[in-house]
Structure 1
Amino acid sequence: MLLVAGATVAVLALVPLAYVASYVVAIGPVDLWQLLARPRIAELLRNTITLALACMAATSVLGVALAVLVERTDLPGRRLWHGLLVAPLAVPAFVNGYAWVSLDRGINGFGGAFAVVTLSYYPLVYLPVVAMLRRLDPALEETAFSLGHSRTRTFRTVVLPQLRPALLGGALLVGLHLLAEFGALSLLRFPTFTTAIYDQYGSTFNGAAATAMAVVLVLLCLVLLLADLRLRGDRRYARVGRGAARTAVPLALGRWRLPLLATVGGVVVLALGVPAFSLLRWLVAGTSTEFPVAELTEALVATLALALAGAVVTTLAAIPVVWLAVRHRGWASTVIERSTYVANALPGIVVGLALVVASLRLVPVVYQTAGLLVAAYAILFLPRAVVTVRAGLEQAPVVLDDVSHSLGLGPLATARRVTLPLIAPSLGAGAALVFLAISTELTATLMLSPIGTSTLATEFWSASSELRYGAAAPYALLLVLVSIPATVLLMRADSPAAQTERVPA
């Protein structure tokens, strides 16, 4: 039953890949090669790979550095800084891009894209690293100190290996989301495969060329997944008990306190202050600014309803996939879990087209219904839930299941009474991450939403793409406000946030 449920989720997640593959077969290898062997494709490949690697590296370094400063030093106001460093999650990447571009049209190209994406996505690394640092037993470091290791060597040989699952999971999410990022990169005029696919579909209607580029995106996604699988290995990260209920002694910063405090403040200003200033500026001074209450309310209600439904469905779909991957390890469970990541690298328009074709051919009655749109959300954002729920299940020791079985409880009763309560924080964090993603999703919503349905993201994009920055500002502000509760849930002290404690057995 569990295998059937996991396989069903994997099949649904692979629908976009099947659509791309069938289109490629229809094109033929000769024509496909002619479409790919062009200088434009080489440029897009260089842009996409360069930006992805640069942003993954930057968010990893920035996320780990900020997490260590907040959790392991005597930085003044650490609790306040933690909240401010998580807050950029409430600001969608395309809203961040809008904020910078609307202030200075000269912010574009690789430099602008690198800065905006890094400032938007670093919390995906920062949050899981913070969660793991909070629960890491300080006795590990104390033992290293007693052996004469310096702080630098202890961090490199003891702490950093413990952070590897959180760091890899966060970096993987950054890379996958960047491969499919459209709004921010379009505003910043930095061409990647995703923006080029939209150009092909939207302006020239060249489905063959767009699908050929989607094939390259799928290949890049597979490279990321294989690299993550290779680096992650098969180590288990669970233990019974949490060890001593104490925290590590904060490192005194001394003369570095003010410079590092200024650095953290600078990150907050760039990631949070600039978008806030830009939104307020356009709300007050924009010539196109207006507050259509009826339209704003309608878009807000639709956004909340779709995001809540999508978050619940996606998180529930992640449970059997993760259960197989963690509790029943093997080639089949690995294939099922990795299958859920592929569509995340495809632009929403490709996923939307795949579901349009599949629904019209197989189940016409679901075409242009909210159910089909929620299915698209589940396909697009399943990795967020899978990464998060897996983190929680990995820290739930298998021995507790064995004890439950020895007391006469069956698998379902054990899952309900023992395992699910242990991973409840991870389920909540996963649902929050998916909610954040759905509330800001743009292109699949434009293609699949029922007639007359509009969301905050689609209304914002309609105004900002016409350079009506003032008209877009109210929708952007509501997008930020809608995202705040989910962001608060993620920054709770005991929340695993995206990957929680996983200490090697």
Structure 2
Amino acid sequence: MSEVIEQGEAPAVADANVVRVKKRAPRALTAGAAVSALLVLAPLLFTLYRAGASGIDDAIELLYRPLVGELLVNTLLITVSATIASAIIGTAAAWFIERTHLPGRRCFAMLCAAPLAMPAFVSSYAWVSISLDLQDFAGALLVITLSYFPLVYLPVAAALRGMDPALEESARSLGCGRRAVFTRVVLPQLKPALYGGMLLVALGVMSEFGAFQMLRYRTFTTEIYAEYRTSFDNGGASLVACVLLLMCLVVLALEFRLRGRARYERVDRGARRAALRYALGAWKWPVVAGYVALAIVTLGVPIGMIGFWLTQEGAAAVTPAEVSPQLLFDATLSSVGFGLLAAIVTVLLAFPLALLLVRYPGRIATMMERSVFLAQGVPGLVIALAIVSLAVRALQPLYQGLTLLIVAYAILFLPLALVSVRAALMQAQPRLEDTARSLGLDATRTFFRVMLPLAGPGFGAAAALVFISVVTELNATLLLAPLDTHTLATQVWSDTSTLAFAAAAPYAALLTAISFCASGLLFVLLGRSALHDTTAS
């Protein structure tokens, strides 16, 4: 394998006569990584092409309608409101769990993370089935906030656990009270985690479709779907999608500007000390009551309403409907099958790019990585719509076929898999592979006997994460699923849209159970991955 001298690097300190060299990546590996990046870029570029093909006059006529202004206000209002509410709830929940002597804090920590396994459209189904009066802004804000606040809670809780307690001790020794310590010391240190979580919430809210459709709250995503349904494969949906895409890019830029370039890592090299914990005093039981109330509204109500409708006859709902056992079995089989197949394909696509980033880092690898992560900031409905239009125009044999649906899943969730696969490969130290090669093992046996045992839990975590996302995915499935193919998610959406709440209950129950089981497996695999990382270090 050829080697090139890495330009711009100083010689190694240990030996002034030794120049660090950088291995050139194999062409096959670079090509495989490029395929992953191009798959993500293709629908985004096609969306821009379709929007540009509409013409300036048609674009002005479409975008300057009063409806677009209403959609802009609605989308901005729900995004800002839900992001702020999630930031407040997530930060408060993390603070009391990580920094106080809260009774049952480990249990509450699990309950605060659990809503991530409950799809937002399933929560919408549960709340709407209680009262149709929730089909407005207040109902949308309630459901979306309860579904997305864990995206703030998890990173903020992790930041609080890793924060150096010496900073707070110094502030307390200088006379600062608890409130001053929190606002002047702790909160500034939480900025990266807090802004990162708020970014995820904002992008998730702007991308949300199923919940808003059930709650009858009109946003850009619901209008994009309506444009697609009323005028198939025209430029209108692409133009509206470009407006939503621009909003997502503005949010990304705003988060980068607010976060700034400050660095927050620990500089001490000593053993990690336990974080400070404060006594709650008279506030102990009111805080516990708050966590119980939060658990009830996030998990108790959805699970309770699903259980309630499971005990009702189909005629008990607003719209009578019966559940077909065969359809229930087919929908479950389709959801699990799609999830497993998409998980395998997505992890395989992520592997060459992750290996390139870990073993052969450089500008090309970084550029490909950033291209893939564009999918994380683009609404799934926009990507799905672009794939539909692209298939109709250039890939007609693949339209409404299983292959195209799996490719769409891979594009949507490739960033999630890439993070876990890259972290797993970093645990497999190159010197162990070199040792195996020196003992006579070829590349294939080295992979299965050395790399896979070390990185296997990380690969499994990536597959589990993709599986959960695919099982609960709605946008691409509605647009790209083969004819007469049903999944648990699409059946919940279909029955709830017609107010057949009792008919939707079995599908919602199975979907929730599968999601929670897969989430439990994910946590186990992540724990094993962390154990391997600790052992290797």
TM-score (norm 1): 0.83
**Alignment-derived partner of residue 262 in structure 1:** 289
Secondary structure class of the residue paired with 2:513 = helix
Question: Structure 1 residue 235: deviation in Å?
Answer: 6.8
Contact residue 302 and residue 454 of structure 1 kept, 8 A: yes
**Alignment-derived partner of residue 35 in structure 1:** 62
Q: 1:52 to 1:7 in 2, by over 3 A?
A: farther
Q: 1:146 to 1:263 in 2, by over 3 A?
A: same
Q: Distance in 2 between matches of 1:231 and 1:385?
A: 27
Is 2:209 the partner of 1:182? yes
Q: 1:332 to 1:113 in 2, by over 3 A?
A: farther
Is 2:126 the partner of 1:99? yes
**Alignment-derived partner of residue 18 in structure 2:** none
Cα shift readout 1:468-492 (whole Å, capped 9, x = no counterpart): 1100010000010010123324556
Is 2:75 the partner of 1:48? yes
Q: Distance in 1 between matches of 2:31 and 2:190?
A: 33
Q: Distance in 2 between matches of 1:234 and 1:422?
A: 34
Aligned residue pairs: how many? 494
Question: Structure 1 residue 269: deviation in Å?
Answer: 1.0
| 1:101 partner amino acid | V
Is 2:498 the partner of 1:459? no
Q: 1:279 to 1:35 in 2, by over 3 A?
A: same
Is 2:99 the partner of 1:72? yes
Question: Which of 279-288 and 190-199 deviates more?
Answer: 279-288
| 1:175 partner amino acid | A
Q: How does 1:320-469 map to 2 (within 5 A)?
A: 335-344=367-376, 348-359=380-391, 366-386=398-418, 392=423, 429-469=461-501
**Alignment-derived partner of residue 510 in structure 2:** 478
Secondary structure class of the residue paired with 2:414 = helix
| 2:340 partner amino acid | L
Question: Which of 13-22 and 348-357 deviates more?
Answer: 348-357
Contact residue 23 and residue 211 of structure 1 kept, 8 A: yes
**Alignment-derived partner of residue 325 in structure 2:** 293
Between the aligned residues of both structures, percent identity stands at 45
Q: Distance in 1 between matches of 2:209 and 2:312?
A: 28
Q: Distance in 1 between matches of 2:89 and 2:381?
A: 31
Question: Which of 223-232 and 210-219 deviates more?
Answer: 223-232
Secondary structure class of the residue paired with 1:27 = coil
Contact residue 136 and residue 217 of structure 2 kept, 8 A: yes
Contact residue 102 and residue 284 of structure 2 kept, 8 A: yes
Secondary structure class of the residue paired with 2:97 = helix
Q: 1:36 to 1:173 in 2, by over 3 A?
A: same
Contact residue 460 and residue 525 of structure 2 kept, 8 A: no
Q: Distance in 2 between matches of 1:408 and 1:241?
A: 36
Question: Structure 1 residue 416: deviation in Å?
Answer: 9.7
Larger RCO: 1 or 2 (CA < 8 Å, sep 6+): 1
TM-score (norm 2): 0.79
Question: Structure 1 residue 201: deviation in Å?
Answer: 1.7
Which of 301, 307, 312 aligns to 1:274? It is: 301
Q: 1:285 to 1:196 in 2, by over 3 A?
A: same
Question: Structure 1 residue 76: deviation in Å?
Answer: 1.0
Secondary structure class of the residue paired with 1:255 = helix
Secondary structure class of the residue paired with 1:189 = coil
| 1:472 partner amino acid | A
Question: Structure 1 residue 244: deviation in Å?
Answer: 2.7
Contact residue 347 and residue 462 of structure 2 kept, 8 A: yes
